[in-house]
Amino acid sequence: MSDGSRRGAELDPSTGPHERLRSLGLELPPVATPKGVYVPARRTGGQVWTSGQLPLVGGELPATGLVGAEVDPDDAAAYARIATLNALAAIDALVGLDAVASVVKVVGFVASAPGFGGQPGVVNGASELLGAVFGSAGEHARSAIGVAALPLNAPVEVEVVVDLT
């Protein structure tokens, strides 16, 4: 209720996250199989915490390497969006996206060339997707961090925590 009214400030309250993804031309991908003894997302109390998500598309990374060197920052923002779509798929598979009341936290790790300080612009690819899907309920706390290397030499990794209705 209160959640619907918050979203109503920006988004058509008669639509849900699935419709908004469709109107963005996006589709939730299948959840990627984790490469270890862990799960794509876990429920704890009234929250879901996702694993760090890579920008895998059909099991493949569209690019590898350091942002600010091999990977263009604008492209990296698009990869952060893909990683976030994978996080939404993990949440949807666990509890259904309609059960998301709000987004609490996003951490965006950006594999960064020495001296690259544009992590906020890259991680905006994640934040803007969450805003488009959840409206003001998608406003989250966020950390953007530049790291030396990521699994499979991915350029970005995104983890998400959401509150459930």
Judged by beta carbon, residue 11 or residue 106, the one nearer its own copies is 106
Between residue 5 and residue 24, which ones bind its own copies under the rule CB under 8 A?
none
> Strand 141-147 vs strand 100-111: parallel, antiparallel, or unpaired?
parallel
Q: Is 35 in the site for its own copies (CB under 8 A)?
A: yes
Q: Is 144 in the site for its own copies (CB under 8 A)?
A: yes
Look-up: residue for tokens 């989250």?
Answer: 140
Q: Is 114 in the site for its own copies (CB under 8 A)?
A: yes
- Residue from 11, 55, 71, 157 that binds its own copies (CB under 8 A)? 157
Separation between Cα atoms, residue 101 and residue 46, nearest integer Å: 10
36-56 as b/e, with b when 16 or more CB fall inside 10 Å?
eeeebbeeeeeebbbbbbbbb
Q: Is the dihedral of CA 156, 33, 129, 143 positive or negative?
A: negative
Look-up: residue for tokens 């992590």?
Answer: 119
How many residues line the site for its own copies (CB under 8 A)?
Answer: 62
Between residue 39 and residue 58, which ones bind its own copies under the rule CB under 8 A?
39-42, 44-47, 49-52
Judged by beta carbon, residue 24 or residue 152, the one nearer its own copies is 152
Q: Is 165 in the site for its own copies (CB under 8 A)?
A: no
Alpha helices in 64-135 (DSSP H): 73-95, 119-134
Judged by beta carbon, residue 88 or residue 119, the one nearer its own copies is 119
- Token representation of residue 71: 């990977």
Q: Is 71 in the site for its own copies (CB under 8 A)?
A: no
- Residue from 11, 83, 106, 156 that binds its own copies (CB under 8 A)? 106
Angle at 144 between CA 54 and CA 158, to 5 degrees: 20
Q: Which spans of this chain sit near its own copies (rule: CB under 8 A)? A: 34-42, 44-47, 49-52, 64, 102, 104-107, 109, 111-121, 123-124, 127-128, 130-131, 138-154, 157, 159, 161, 163
